[in-house]
Amino acid sequence: MTMSIIAKSALLSATLLLGASAVSAAELNIYTTREPGLVQPLLDAFTAATGTKVNTVFLKDGLVERVAAEGESSPADILMTVDAGNLVDLVEKGVTQPVESAVLTQSIPEQLRDAKGNWFALSMRARVVYAAKDLDLAALNYEDLADPKWKGKICIRSGQHPYNTALFADYIAHYGAEATEKWLAGIKDNLARKAAGGDRDGAKDIAGGICDIAIANSYYVGLMRSGKGGEEQAAWGNAIKVILPTFKDGGTQVNVSGAAVAKHAPNKAEAVKLLEYLVSDEAQKIYAQANFEYPVKPGAATDPIIASFGELKIDPKPLTEIVSHRKQASELVDKVGFDN
């Protein structure tokens, strides 16, 4: 009888121990607006490397609103999104917390992260120029886009699209609002068609002879040339060459995907470990392969298609400064009637 009680006691203790171990197993929760197909390979690789389980909630929109509504009870550890403006918005809405990490500060250039550690860029895309393959053009400054020699030769999507307001805001950061207004008016005068469509339409219209150059994002070229967009888009991608324009007193304008640790993260230590993993050589390579994005870590591998554009010189203006001019850039787009 005594042995039976001891045996039952031992079994109960073992069960409780196993239960406690299962509960305390490392895991973290991510809220993200990034497409599942882009994010999941990175998270799977992190779990394989660390054993940490990652629970993911994909949100098309409303990320800030959801986390704010959940308040202190929010299970979110990491908030992951695209566009520097969205990252800054997370901070301004008070749903992030600062992180101190030597790995992150050493791996990510200063202008691509929040000065107080509230968010960090994890991958980049550059705002580049697509040009007809036979066009005698090897280099270009953003300022040159307003030159009358391009009259009737430029294609671009809506000036109010975030891709473009980011570029225009960067121009304001360099030269001020008055100069930017004149520049935007000059580009509008040079348009071959109404500012509309998407970035890939710029390549399509170059192939169709509608325009000679187009302003668009770098990663679309990888998507087109790789065949991920089908044979028709592959033909568009192969009909153009890519030029990395720069500001005369700066570099090429970039935008980013990035992440922040949530203000009430229940698993902060694991969240920081994931961010540090995402700037490792392994993870940066996955970013490059999944969506043809530039790595933020200097020296990390870039996809061969993107590397063929030449060396990317990132504009040194801090993304937080550029974002502060977004509203003004949008107002100037309307003022000059850019999309009319």
Same domain, 184 and 220: yes
Tell me the binding residues. 219-220
Tell me, what CATH number does 92's domain have? 3.40.190.10
Tell me the binding residues for Fe cation. 219-220
- The DSSP code for 308 is T
> Does an H or E element contain 128, and which?
strand 120-132
Same domain, 210 and 330: yes
Residue 271 one-letter amino acid: A
Same domain, 223 and 280: no
Name the domain count of the chain.
2
- Could you tell me the CA-to-CA distances from 44 to 54, 119, 277 in Å, in that order? 8, 22, 12
306 located within any domain: no
> Does an H or E element contain 45, and which?
helix 36-50
Same domain, 18 and 61: yes
> pLDDT tens digits for 146-201?
999 999 999 999 999 999 999 999 999 999 999 999 999 999 999 999 999 999 99
Same domain, 105 and 171: no
Same domain, 112 and 213: no
- The DSSP code for 243 is E
Same domain, 13 and 114: yes
> pLDDT tens digits for 48-85?
999 999 999 999 889 999 999 999 999 999 999 999 99
Same domain, 236 and 268: no
> pLDDT tens digits for 125-149?
999 999 999 999 999 999 999 999 9
Same domain, 167 and 213: yes
Does residue 334 surpass a pLDDT of 70? Answer: yes
- Residue 333 tokens read as 């787009």
213 located within any domain: yes
> pLDDT tens digits for 254-312?
999 999 999 999 999 999 999 999 999 999 999 998 899 999 999 999 999 999 999 99
109 located within any domain: yes
Same domain, 140 and 69: no
42 located within any domain: yes
307 located within any domain: no
Residue 38 belongs to domain spanning: 2-124+254-301
Measured in whole angstroms, the distance separating CA 259 from the mean position of its chain's CA atoms is 10
- pTM for the full model? 0.89
